[in-house]
Amino acid sequence: MSPEAFQQQLADDGITITAPQMTQFATYYRLLVQTNEQVNLTAITAEPEVYLKHFYDSLTLALALPELQTQPWSLLDVGAGAGFPSLPVKIVFPQLQVSIVDSLNKRIKFLQELAGELDLEQVAFYHDRAEDFGSKRSSHRQSYDVVTARAVANLPVLAELCLPLVKKGGYFVAMKSAKGDEELAAADYAIKILGGKVVATKTLTLPETADLRKIIIIQKTKETPKTYPRKPGTIAKAPLVDRV
């Protein structure tokens, strides 16, 4: 996907990308490739692939949850790596207050430098583990309108990392591939225990490749019990699944 095709596809989707925003995406691509030579940020570096599989794919978040296009919501990205999906969404919808938490400080440093180059305002970056970031002692617990994650973990694990960070009435949005339905079935128990309710599952296909995407929207309907998230290492080893 060329930058021009990226802009046109989003126009077809009802999203207008301005010339200054296109310049921001070009700068994002340049810095991503430069930094990737020293820090492992992504295996995808060819321009057409970055525009399709990183930039456009990130913006499917705002297609699945259209309120992100207009509301001044707080959006937390868990384990964003090189900034996906939250920073492309921030570029296009600057009214959002975007935060990113990642466990690798090298990635956080890249994101801080990137945000400066892109002149992004109302962005925050935290070097922390998601388990600690959403713990009962954390000021970030249950404080975000939307929490999202892309390519981080299976849904039962991801739900325990993300739902404790969502405020009551807010949303946890999981960006998944074709196996999303299978993961959702496995995560049903965890979602209920953690205070969530599945309100929508959106199926999208990427242009040009027709790769399938499942975007699962979970609303926080009650507070997460204080015992969750559990300690680092425990969640992945013993995910919350129905043992019956």
Each residue's pLDDT tens digit, 4-42 = 999 999 999 999 999 999 999 999 999 999 999 998 898
Separation of CA 189 from chain center = 22
Per-residue pLDDT of 79-137, as tens digits, reads: 888 999 999 999 999 999 999 999 999 999 999 999 999 999 999 999 999 999 999 89
Three-state DSSP string of 104-133: CHHHHHHHHHHHHHCCCCCEEEEECCHHHH
Is residue 114 assigned to a domain? yes
- Residues in the annotated binding site for S-adenosyl-L-methionine: 79, 84, 130-131, 150
What does DSSP assign to residue 16? -
Tokens of 86: 């939250």
What are the residues facing 123 on neighbouring strands? 98
Asked if residues 206 and 53 have their Cβ atoms less than 8 Å apart, the reply is yes
Tokens of 96: 């959002």
Task: Write the CATH number for 216.
Answer: 3.40.50.150
Total structural domains within the chain: 1
What does DSSP assign to residue 127? E
How does the average pLDDT of the chain come out, rounded? 94
Is residue 53 assigned to a domain? yes
Is residue 147 assigned to a domain? yes
Range of the domain at 162: 3-237
Q: Where are the alpha helices (DSSP H) in 37-104?
A: 47-49, 57-64, 86-92
Of the candidate ranges 76-85, 151-160, 167-176, the one whose mean pLDDT is the lowest? 151-160
Per-residue pLDDT at 211 exceeds 60: yes
Please give the pLDDT value at position 236: 84
Is residue 244 assigned to a domain? no
CA dihedral 235, 237, 241, 244 (to 10 degrees): -140
Is residue 242 assigned to a domain? no
